[in-house]
Amino acid sequence: MKVCVLVLGLSLVLTVCMARSPYQAVLQHSRIRGRQQGPNVCAMQQIKGTNKKYFTNCKQWYHRKICSQPTMITYECCPGYEKIPGEKGCPAALPLVNIYNTLGVVGATTTKMYSERAQLKEEIEGPGSFTFFAPSNEAWAALPTEILDALVSNVNIELLNALHYHMVNRRLTSEELKHGSSFASMYQDSHVHIHHYSNGIITVNCARLIKPDQHATNGIVHVVDRVITAISNDMQSIIDIDDDLETLRTALAAAGLTSVLQNEGQYTVFAPTNEAFEKIPAETLNRILGDPVALKDLLNYHILKNMQCAESIVSGTPMETLQGTVLEVGCDGNQMTLNGKAIITKKDQLGTNGVIHYINELLIPDSAKTLLELAEGSSVAMATKLFVEAGLTSHLTGSEALTMLAPLDEAFKGSVTMTPDMRKLMTNHIVKEQMSSKSLYHGQELETLGGLKLRVFVYRNNLCIENACIAAHDKTGRYASMFTVDKVLTPPMGTVMDVLKADNRFSLLVGAIQTAGMTELLNQQGTLTFFAPTNDAFNALGQAELNKLMRNPGELSGVLRYHLGEGMLVSGGVGSHTRLKPLQGEKLELGVRNYTVYVNKVPVADADLMATNGVVHAVSSVIKPLPPKLDREQADGPATPLRSAASSRANAQSFRNDDLFQRVVKSRSSRTMIHSQ
């Protein structure tokens, strides 16, 4: 029976929670945080150095920041309650009085004074059921002097009209103030526009309700943080009459978007001023203005699908644009920010179908950029410089369908200069087709501008093109795309046998392969992963054991085949406890620790020596099978403390230009070092 009651109780609680409005949810959280101070006490977060207070949600409570500014916790009576001298908390319910007197109780004394001056007092003292969005004292004080003087100098008309616009002829609690709703005001039935955001903030014509739900005998009062004015124009009309938006007006017409801002909707437009357009290089601006597709993408990137008043923003939030990607809309103190930049110069210019915020910097989406512009806006400065120095600018700025494979800056180390070999290498970092990484598949071949075929390897933990794995989300430009990769490509220049013969470190291994009769295996087509013992590895066996091994081709073949795995496994494809089936023997256990690849506890000294029929990883010890009961974690090598991700990644991805020169001259792949411990 108790279980049934408990289940029923939980169901009721869940139902109530689901039914609460966002404002009621944060109010309830504020009550919970304030209950130690006594009954009906709400915890508020006040931005330090200001009078701005907010009911708190869980995230804000622990971060103690609003709009990146530190907050302090204050405690006050929750709406509808008051203190009693000598008692803890706020035990008494406020006595219900009419709206006129409620204005004084909630601290909106200036609105109360102007109501009397405008001869509104009798109306809001008498019978009826009204909603009054009452400006706070600070809201009236913030009005420009000339506007306030114009209102109060003609009290029988302008001031009364202004106050009536703040009123609705019915009682509307916060629960009834639904997101996107509008209500006819008592001034010529002009509508007021409500937005009830998921963070609990409610606005009316972008003014924040700072003291909602103050009940009265003849209605309800919501104190707001600014004086609101009637809205009559749509957003396109606002743009049409503002000389600061002349260039935007022309661009909207050229892109055929004028009707969007005239139609019904609830949009947010970040409107670039003439100054914002003038900051863009003339060549770039003319290219975009002359390209209808790029222009439409650019303008849609400035329009959010939903209406966001400035007061609704308390932290950075990604928001979807009409262009399809997102902008991070945030705030820093009193400033509204876009993608972390405080570029908004004028906020909350309201239209009947949305809100306009003016910005002094043009936002160019990736979809309107050339390949060069994509690269210049990313962390691939060194690669960008080398592409330009290699004479590839025409490809990067034209309308060819291409995909750039751009190594991170950390992939280069030391002084990198342009040479004929480097020019050829950079040309092979550009693929002839515009691609998406989501469309790549294992075994696919990509043709480069240099005529090489690059192979695609799909692993459980990574997507790699030859030795380089994709390290960031794609950037898709107007005609071309950019893949950021973690290493400089080392295209294959020969078979596995060619790779070994070209490197003096493997002279003993080459002899062993010939003795074991495996030369043809390493020259024929296929996909092999060879953990290749260096001369040091063989010498570590001791001369007697080495001689014995070399005299027994069968045993030697078995040892070497245990070092050869089936399939192609580059270092980027190795995860925790990766297994590889050798050509002879049960299994090879691979892992990564401290950004070093281990195979059966043996560290890989030099990884990803790419070949046309496989990949070579140099090891400094001959690999032996692990004991049957050895804990698999030991296959990853010793449990050493991890270095910082930044330093480890820089080491793992570094690339030396002098190494490149030497290895390209030798007609084999350049090398990305995986450092052993």
Q: What is the mean pLDDT of residues 114-142?
A: 95
Residues 433-479 pLDDT 10s:
999 999 999 999 999 999 999 999 999 989 999 999 999 999 999 99
Q: How far apart are CA 520 and CA 500, in angstroms?
A: 14
Q: How far apart are CA 426 and CA 298, in angstroms?
A: 30
Residues 420-443 pLDDT 10s:
999 999 999 999 999 999 999 999
pLDDT of residue 493: 85
Q: How far apart are CA 631 and CA 608, in angstroms?
A: 27
pLDDT of residue 629: 59
What are the DSSP calls for 555-569, one per residue? HHHHHHHHTEEES--
Select the more confidently predicted residue: 157 or 114.
114
Kind of pairing between the strands at 602-611 and 207-216? unpaired
Q: Which token pair is 343?
A: 């570029």
What is the number of helices (H) and of strands (E) in the chain?
Answer: 26, 35
- Asked if 412 and 380 touch (Cβ cutoff 8 Å), the reply is no
Task: Report the candidate in 170, 324, 322 with the shortest Cα–Cα distance to residue 255.
Answer: 322
Q: Which residues of 473-488 are buried (b: 16+ CB within 10 A; e: fewer)?
A: ebbbbbbbbbbbbbbb
Instruction: For 334, list phi and psi in degrees, rounded to 5.
Output: -85, -5
Which amino acid does the sequence have at 481? S
pLDDT of residue 156: 67
649 pLDDT above the threshold of 60: no
150 pLDDT above the threshold of 90: no
SS3 of residue 252 by DSSP: helix
CB atoms under 10 Å from CB of 397, counted, come to: 16
Residues 158-216 pLDDT 10s:
899 999 999 999 999 999 999 999 999 999 999 999 999 999 999 999 999 999 999 99
Q: How far apart are CA 313 and CA 134, in angstroms?
A: 22
Residues 344-397 pLDDT 10s:
999 999 999 999 999 999 999 999 999 999 999 888 999 999 999 999 999 999
pLDDT of residue 595: 86
659 pLDDT above the threshold of 70: no
- Asked if 627 and 385 touch (Cβ cutoff 8 Å), the reply is no
Q: How far apart are CA 63 and CA 49, in angstroms?
A: 18
pLDDT of residue 415: 83
pLDDT of residue 132: 98
Burial status of residue 670 (CB atoms within 10 A of its CB: 0-12, 13-18, 19 or more): buried
- Asked if 72 and 48 touch (Cβ cutoff 8 Å), the reply is yes
93 pLDDT above the threshold of 80: yes
Angle at 286 between CA 281 and CA 288, to 5 degrees: 100
SS3 of residue 172 by DSSP: coil
Enter the pTM of the model.
0.81
Burial status of residue 553 (CB atoms within 10 A of its CB: 0-12, 13-18, 19 or more): middle
467-471 long-range contacts, CB within 8 A, separation 24+ = 467/570, 467/571, 467/572, 467/607, 467/608, 467/610, 467/615, 467/669, 467/672, 468/405, 468/407, 468/572, 469/570, 469/572, 469/573, 470/437, 471/408
Task: Report the candidate in 595, 593, 607, 618 with the shortest Cα–Cα distance to residue 671.
Answer: 607
SS3 of residue 409 by DSSP: helix
pLDDT of residue 179: 94
pLDDT of residue 20: 80
SS3 of residue 291 by DSSP: coil
Task: Report the candidate in 204, 202, 184, 201 with the shortest Cα–Cα distance to residue 193.
Answer: 204
Q: What is the mean pLDDT of residues 592-620?
A: 94
Q: Which token pair is 265?
A: 């909707």
Which amino acid does the sequence have at 52? K
18 pLDDT above the threshold of 60: no
Percent of the chain with pLDDT over 70: 90
pLDDT of residue 28: 95
Beta sheet of 326-332, edge-to-edge order: 317-320, 326-332, 335-338
Q: What is the mean pLDDT of residues 532-537?
A: 96
Percent of the chain with pLDDT over 90: 82
How confident is residue 341, by pLDDT bands cut at 50, 70 and 90? very high
- Asked if 274 and 247 touch (Cβ cutoff 8 Å), the reply is yes
Q: How far apart are CA 479 and CA 396, in angstroms?
A: 10
304 pLDDT above the threshold of 80: yes
Tokens 């043809």 belong to residue: 520
Q: Is the dihedral angle over the CA atoms 41, 47, 48, 51 positive or is it negative?
A: negative
Q: How far apart are CA 611 and CA 214, in angstroms?
A: 76
Task: Report the candidate in 88, 76, 69, 68 with the shortest Cα–Cα distance to residue 33.
Answer: 76
591 pLDDT above the threshold of 50: yes
Q: How far apart are CA 513 and CA 223, in angstroms?
A: 86
